[in-house]
Amino acid sequence: MEEGPYKYIRDGNGKVSRVIRIGTRKSQLARIQTDSVAEKLKELYPDIHLEIVAMSTTGDKILDTALSKIGEKSLFTKELENALDRNEVDLVVHSLKDLPTALPPGFTIGAVLKRESPYDAVVLHPKNVGKTLDVLPENSVVGTSSLRRAAQLKKRFPHLHFKDIRGNLNTRLKKLDEKEDFAAIILAAAGLRRMGWENRISQILEPGDCMYAVGQGALAVEVRARDTDILEMVSVLHDHDTVLRCIAERAFLRHLEGGCSVPVAVHTEVKDGQLYLTGAVYSLDGSDSLKDTMQTMNHTHLEEVDEQVQRVGVTAHKISGEVQDRAERLGVDLANLLLSKGAKEILTVARQLNDAR
């Protein structure tokens, strides 16, 4: 039964409870990720009724164009946000790296879950099994849809050619395996693991070879900012360290004004109560780059509760506001450091060259 914007259900004993509707993309990986969040919520709140609503997004439909060329920030999220806005769903599960650093008004990230591996992985064509990028033959073609990956890997592995490959995980693996176009493709390790395809990972790219994308490996739950009960419900899913790392990463990217169409990469870790952020910007061919590391002193157990609403789209009331502020400041400070060394110029040229491709 519908009651105002919400949907309710009556069980056999006449007890009425609200149905929580979760929006997701239709791809197999999106479904797996959404199901994993639904299971966690079910464990924490055994009485709730969950309903999963799957929908196609623009990013799923435009498969013949490189992501960086489409230029739309919210490629995989817009349709889901529209459904959230129209009260057709109550929360949406995303890969955090798909979410722009500034969300549309009225939305917030209510939970950032514990991060899977944020690294990139090499998946080889069956004929190259057992090899690494280092030893692939001269001029081998490697597929990646990411400017960030291509820029770093061109510099690191100059003997290889990098070419766009689009489609969801299933499609990309099919293109790799069934044709001779690619010697290898680069994918996020987290997605492969969630799909149960860990055995296809031939090599994990360490930060020295390829730093990862902002938010990579973390799942985010997006909700209506005014929906305080849902916000409260999902907030228990927040992972303390992942939240701080991702706030710093997102603040760094936002301050650089980077998006899908420029090569920006990060690496973060929390060690002995301190947050370390390494960030870099690259020219498209990787020949020009700026990279630096900064750290913040984090006194992890500040007890005061956070009053401020959002930081780079994230709402985390249960984590100390001061600690979150420091993480955000760290991102901005590192961005300013790179900007002072000429990051703006590198990114502007990268953007122009990419638009002209």
**Main-chain phi, psi angles of 40, to 5 degrees:** -60, -40
* 345 Cβ contact list (under 8 Å, min separation 6): none
DSSP for 238-278 reads: --HHHHHHHHHHHHHHHHHT--TTS-EEEEEEEETTEEEEE
Q: How far apart are CA 109 and CA 310, in angstroms?
A: 8
Provide the annotated active-site residues: 98
Give the 3-state secondary structure of residue 229: helix
Using CB atoms within 10 Å of the CB of residue 61, give its burial: 0 to 12 exposed, 13 to 18 middle, 19+ buried: exposed
Q: How far apart are CA 272 and CA 277, in angstroms?
A: 14
* 178 Cβ contact list (under 8 Å, min separation 6): none
Give the 3-state secondary structure of residue 12: coil
Q: How far apart are CA 58 and CA 70, in angstroms?
A: 10
Q: How far apart are CA 279 and CA 268, in angstroms?
A: 9
Residue type, 339: L
* 159 Cβ contact list (under 8 Å, min separation 6): 136, 138, 139, 140
Q: How far apart are CA 316 and CA 163, in angstroms?
A: 39
Bridge partners of 215?
none
Q: Which helix (H) or strand (E) holds 22?
A: strand 16-25
**Main-chain phi, psi angles of 354, to 5 degrees:** -65, -40
